[in-house]
């Protein structure tokens, strides 16, 4: 049985929800960590509701924090087991929230940070129907050898658009993970965009936030005003 999850929410600015943006936080954090990004993106996406669920498990190494799955070592098999264990709960949450707003996956963008990126890529690429886009900060693709399972496609038969953003001085998940993930996705027939933030460690900077917000808006087929276009 999938564990129920929930977390902070920010309603659509127009109060007429037409899109859904779901943030997946990193290991040892919680849903409050990313929800503030919504206020920076609402100008691009006034009809979008933003959700940032808390991961279902308490984090053993960060009292008060949460985890999508346990991490005890840098072991690819442990991460593969972890994303598969966490996936049913996230699928159930996404299905329920889309149903709540009368939307489908074509109106959904998944945004992850670190461990949340691992889960966003895993789940987003395995939905019955592809989300509008997947945005991953400071994370990596888990189980690239299993990309044959990544069958989520849009109505036009394409894989979901993906943007990976990473700091070149990340000492938690090396920036090399960005290039390895992008290469693996390309080999699996799933092209992705990427952005490397100069001088950034394990975090999200202003340019990365702007790049990600514009990417999400484009995935949702939203018209951008002249100010947003100039910020690209």
Q: Is residue 2 part of a domain?
A: no
Mean pLDDT score, 9-23: 96
Phi–psi pair at 110, nearest 5 degrees: -100, 130
Query: In whole angstroms, what is the distance from residue 58 CA to residue 68 CA?
Result: 9
Mean pLDDT score, 171-181: 97
Query: In whole angstroms, what is the distance from residue 26 CA to residue 118 CA?
Result: 9
The string of pLDDT tens digits covering residues 33-71 is: 999 999 999 998 999 999 999 999 999 888 889 999 998
Catalytic residue among 29, 114, 181, 197: 114
Taking all residues of the chain, what is their mean pLDDT, rounded to a whole number? 93
Q: Is residue 4 part of a domain?
A: no
For residue 143, the enclosing domain spans: 9-230
Catalytic residue among 47, 104, 202, 205: 202
Q: How many domains are contained in the chain?
A: 1
pTM value surpassing 0.85: yes
Q: What is the CATH number of the domain that holds 59?
A: 3.40.50.1820
- pLDDT of residue 232 exceeding 90, the answer is no
Known catalytic membership, residue 25:
no
Known catalytic membership, residue 170:
yes
Catalytic residue among 25, 122, 170, 181: 170
Instruction: Find the angle CA(33)-CA(38)-CA(224) to the nearest 5 degrees.
Output: 150
Q: Is residue 1 part of a domain?
A: no
Q: Is residue 3 part of a domain?
A: no
Q: Is residue 160 part of a domain?
A: yes
Q: Is residue 32 part of a domain?
A: yes
The string of pLDDT tens digits covering residues 122-153 is: 999 999 999 999 999 999 999 999 999 999 99
Cα–chain center distance at 87: 13
Q: State the DSSP H helix or E strand holding residue 52, giving kind and residue range, or none if neither.
A: none
Mean pLDDT score, 169-179: 96
Q: Is residue 161 part of a domain?
A: yes
Report residue 14 as tokens: 């127009």
Q: Is residue 178 part of a domain?
A: yes
């Amino acid at each position: 049985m999938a564990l129920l999850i929930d977390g902070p929410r920010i309603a659509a600015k127009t109060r007429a929800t037409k899109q859904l943006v779901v943030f997946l936080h990193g290991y040892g954090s919680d849903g409050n960590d990313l929800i503030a990004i919504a206020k920076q993106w609402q100008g691009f996406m006034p009809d979008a509701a933003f959700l940032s669920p808390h991961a279902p498990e308490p984090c053993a190494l960060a009292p008060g924090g949460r985890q999508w799955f346990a991490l005890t070592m840098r072991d690819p098999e442990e991460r593969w087991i972890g994303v598969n264990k966490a996936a049913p709960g996230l699928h159930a949450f996404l299905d329920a929230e889309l149903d709540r707003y009368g939307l489908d996956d074509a109106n959904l963008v998944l945004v992850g940070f670190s461990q949340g990126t691992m889960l966003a890529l895993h789940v987003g690429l395995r939905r019955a129907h592809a989300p509008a886009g997947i945005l991953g900060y400071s994370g990596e693709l888990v189980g690239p050898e299993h990309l044959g399972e990544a069958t989520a496609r849009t109505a036009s038969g394409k894989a979901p658009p993906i943007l990976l953003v990473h700091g070149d001085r990340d000492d938690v998940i090396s920036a090399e993970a960005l290039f390895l993930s992008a290469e693996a996705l390309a080999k699996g027939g799933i092209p992705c965009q990427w952005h490397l933030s100069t001088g950034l460690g394990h975090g999200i900077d202003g340019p990365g936030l702007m790049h990600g917000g514009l990417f999400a808006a484009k995935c949702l087929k939203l018209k951008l005003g002249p100010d947003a276009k100039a910020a690209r």
